[in-house]
Structure 1
Amino acid sequence: MHDDQIAAMAPDAASLTAARKLALPKLWPNLGTHSRALWGECQGSGANPYRVQVDLETLAFRCSCPSRKLPCKHTLALMLLLANQADQVPVAELPDWVAEWLAQRARTAERRQVSAEAAPIAASAAPEPPPSRTPTAREQRVAAGMLELDRWLEDRVRTGLAGLQEGALGLFAPFASRMVDAQAPGVARRLREAALLPGSGVGWEGRLLDQLSLLHLLARAYAHLDDLPPDLQADVRTTIGFTQSQEELLAGQGIFDQWLVLGRRIEDEERLRVQRTWLWGMTEQRPALVLSFSVAEKPFDQSLVPGSFFAGELVFYPGSVPQRALVRTREELVPEPGPLPGWSINAAIGIYAAALAQQPWLERHLLIIGPCRLACAEDRWYLCDADDQTLPLSRTSTQIWQLLALTGGHPFTIVGEWDGGMLLPLSVQCEGGFFCL
């Protein structure tokens, strides 16, 4: 492969420019090639180097960095190294992590081949159009509700937001009940939460307008649901309140990894209690969110203990930014997990922004930031990273003194839920080990 061919693969000019700066052998302490693959490890902003691997036969690639660009700058840099400085890339045996990836790709290709051979092929027959589907009774009610929501939102904007400072609850609550009748509970919940914003302090007008805009986008998206990509369709339906059968989901393909249970949070949502348990896949370097629900004080599933470490397969719910998952198999591991990746605040917020661009109704996102330290200004606690960037911690967080005691003023890596404005700490990794808060 030549330099110009690699340049043509770059998703944008900035990625190619960054890749050329990284295409230096000294930045790749572990580098090698084989008749089938090219691989390397490049030190990034996290504690662990990014692992990059390229299948030279099919020109497929994978990198453990958080970038959503394909190929990322690390992949481009590795290929540029081989193209321009082949003598600096030693021929070697495949490391285990590359061999395992290639084997997995081979198994996937074999399954696809078997499926293709088993499928009946009608050579001369014209393809039949997909059968038309009659909307269910619920879908019809939701469609009518979304049309009504869009008109209601137009009225709110037309009459202005200033008058809502004192009468929001009386105006929003009846319409939220109307959304319950339309079988759109997710919309009803967002309306009730939006009704509390006029009393939330300076800048409430902008925050309220943001939420109303997202509801408007949701109503319009549902009106054109069939025109959206499948993952975005799933996002729209989930945000409105449609659910998916767990049995149907578990029949799909899962992801096997070594999972660290990062922490859990329990919150009350009217008559429902919700437990959020966050996990981190150590190999795939991705988060997973396991939700549990409780009604009438029934106990939650407590099998995923914060701080535990297990090997298992998770199945993710469909969506543009898959994070909610179900545990299909699990086997506890004795070895301690390795260090978590740590991103700077700017990099972590960049990952969140990329996720939000794909899924605009995303309410929470997992951030892992480090190394960082605690800072206090005007009775407010913040995270401060090595670049002196800051990120506000949740005002309701009760873990500040626990964090101070565990870290002793030394740098640490923190895991937390980010809601777009504040970080709610879940766990911390420091010199003393990994601790759930």
Structure 2
Amino acid sequence: MVETNHDSPTLGIDTWTADRVVALAPDPSSAKNGKGLATLNKWSNLGKEQQIIWGECKGSGKDPYRIQVDLSEPAFRCSCPSRKFPCKHGLGLLFLMVSQPTVLTEGTPPDWVADWIASRTKREEKQKQKLNQLEKAIDPEAQAKRAHARLNKVKAGVQDLQMWLNDLIRQGLTSVRTESYQFWEQPAARMVDAQAPSLARQLREIPSIINSGTGWESRLLAKLGKLYLLLESFQRLESLPLPNQADIRNQIGWTQNQSELITALENSSTSSQSSQYLQQDLWLVMGQQIETEERLRVSRTWLWGKHSHRYALLLQFAHGTQAFEVNFGLGTSLEAELAFFESAYPLRAIIKSRENSSSFVSVGEIVGYETIDLAITSYSSALVKNPWLERFPLTLQQVIPLHRDGKWFIRDRANNLLAIDPRFERVWTILALSGGHPVMIFGEWNDNHLYPLSIWVEGNFYSA
């Protein structure tokens, strides 16, 4: 069974078009296969009730696949084994709805649809109850004691790490070339004990830099320089502005849960803070990436505000095979108020509230960088505010994928080149989608490479 919950504005049947259905497809082949299923002889038990549509589609087995869609988000569920979101059957039902809307007759949902609706409602209620319980469970006095105890542990760990780095620099960077992984794991484990998990993660990333090929020395020096800047900044934490303090704490490993974030913003006495960290807008889903760290899966979804012209990063975490709380449809949009985490350059956010809307964002409304130089200049300005930015959202207009000297690049109309991340495995896909013509590409920039997440071709969004 496959289920997904693609967040976008509430839409009636009349507002859907074939292009909007294509925009939901995870890849061109899914869109093509979905269109192939949009024939009435493949479907049975079709129906609708308000924003819910459903139907059964003939498959390879004896039993048809059962598909239901909530158009208000849209959310999908299909009984097929596909791991694509949405699957071709969900797309096929939407294509059928667009081409032959009268075949979806008004009626009472069958039990399998009613059960799905009830389960989604129950899940939403549980989430609200969970947030309420978190708010009630907060004991300010006990919380302050725990925070003070952790701060003392982190301070001791930071002092140890500074001494270790000083010894490393005195020995010279080339001395670490032959060191084993354990050389870096020992101080990393010390940072875990000091309750500074993000420092541990940064230390564990260093061996991959040493083995990254020509120029590793300069990359290692840059990494250690940022790490040393972080440690020095932590020693002067209380003398820095509050947004910078938040960035430093985040890089050390402090976290803030959703309930605490919203409560802090609602209790804020300054209107300037509210305008900076609370943003109502129509948000377009620009790109998504799911990474796995041992058994923990991390989902990153980038949004772009139509009116605010600002980016927002939504993070979700799931353990093992557990489903993410929400799955967002690439190219869809949602009318929502986001709450941003405190930062000198706010990017990470959570959804505070949502509203219904029938608006869509078109390609002509997206503000992207016309040249790579402008994009890097914007990135440089962001680094001035937060030197520890690890991923920066870039939307590049009128660019072409290019292969040169065994490496892949993105070329703008001024013939500037931006290196594509060597880890990116679908470069031939974006080349095929572009057809060698200028397209718009969105991705994450990490100071060395761009990792493409989506490509917009002729008004349609595709996952890169």
**Fold conserved (TM > 0.5)?**
yes
Q: 2:156 aligns with which of 129, 135, 144?
A: 144
Find the counterpart in structure 2 of residue 176 from structure 1: 188
Find the counterpart in structure 2 of residue 394 from structure 1: 421
Q: 1:222 aligns with which of 234, 237, 247?
A: 234
Find the counterpart in structure 1 of residue 368 from structure 2: 342
Find the counterpart in structure 1 of residue 380 from structure 2: 353
Q: Contact (CA 8 Å) 1:406, 1:432: kept in 2 or not?
A: no
SS of 1:163's partner is helix
Find the counterpart in structure 2 of residue 373 from structure 1: 400
1:383 Cα deviation after fit: 0.8
- How is 1:3-402 mapped onto 2 (pairs within 5 angstroms)? 136-251=148-263, 252=265, 253=274, 254-331=278-355, 333-339=357-363, 340-343=366-369, 344-402=371-429
Which amino acid letter does the alignment assign opposite residue 304 of structure 2? W
Which amino acid letter does the alignment assign opposite residue 367 of structure 2? P
1:269 Cα deviation after fit: 2.6
SS of 1:302's partner is coil
Between the two proteins, what is the percent identity of the paired residues?
Answer: 40
Partner Cα distance (1:327, 1:302) in 2:
11
- CA deviation digits over 1:63-91, x for unaligned, max 9? xxxxxxxxxxxxxxxxxxxxxxxxxxxxx
Q: Which moved more, 1:397-406 or 1:142-151?
A: 397-406
Which amino acid letter does the alignment assign opposite residue 221 of structure 1? S
Find the counterpart in structure 2 of residue 421 from structure 1: 448
Which amino acid letter does the alignment assign opposite residue 329 of structure 1? S
Could you tell me which runs of 5 or more consecutive residues in structure 1 were left unpaired when the two chains were aligned. Answer: 1-132
Q: Which moved more, 1:424-433 or 1:344-353?
A: 424-433
SS of 2:280's partner is strand
Could you tell me which runs of 5 or more consecutive residues in structure 2 were left unpaired when the two chains were aligned. Answer: 1-143, 266-273
Find the counterpart in structure 2 of residue 92 from structure 1: none
1:271 Cα deviation after fit: 4.4
- CA deviation digits over 1:29-67, x for unaligned, max 9? xxxxxxxxxxxxxxxxxxxxxxxxxxxxxxxxxxxxxxx
- CA deviation digits over 1:91-120, x for unaligned, max 9? xxxxxxxxxxxxxxxxxxxxxxxxxxxxxx
Partner Cα distance (2:458, 2:233) in 1:
48
Change (3 A) 1:271 1:146: farther
SS of 1:162's partner is helix
Which amino acid letter does the alignment assign opposite residue 368 of structure 2? G
Which amino acid letter does the alignment assign opposite residue 251 of structure 2? T
SS of 1:156's partner is helix
Change (3 A) 1:195 1:234: same
Alignment RMSD, CA only?
A: 1.6
Q: Which moved more, 1:243-252 or 1:177-186?
A: 243-252
1:216 Cα deviation after fit: 1.0
Q: TM-score, normalization: structure 2?
A: 0.63
Find the counterpart in structure 2 of residue 115 from structure 1: none
Which amino acid letter does the alignment assign opposite residue 261 of structure 1? V
Which amino acid letter does the alignment assign opposite residue 201 of structure 1? G
- CA deviation digits over 1:314-357, x for unaligned, max 9? 00000011000001122454443122222110000111111111
Which amino acid letter does the alignment assign opposite residue 345 of structure 1? I
Q: Contact (CA 8 Å) 1:418, 1:424: kept in 2 or not?
A: yes
Partner Cα distance (2:358, 2:463) in 1:
18
Which amino acid letter does the alignment assign opposite residue 286 of structure 1? R
The structure with higher relative contact order (CA 8 Å, sep 6+) is: 2
Partner Cα distance (2:257, 2:444) in 1:
26
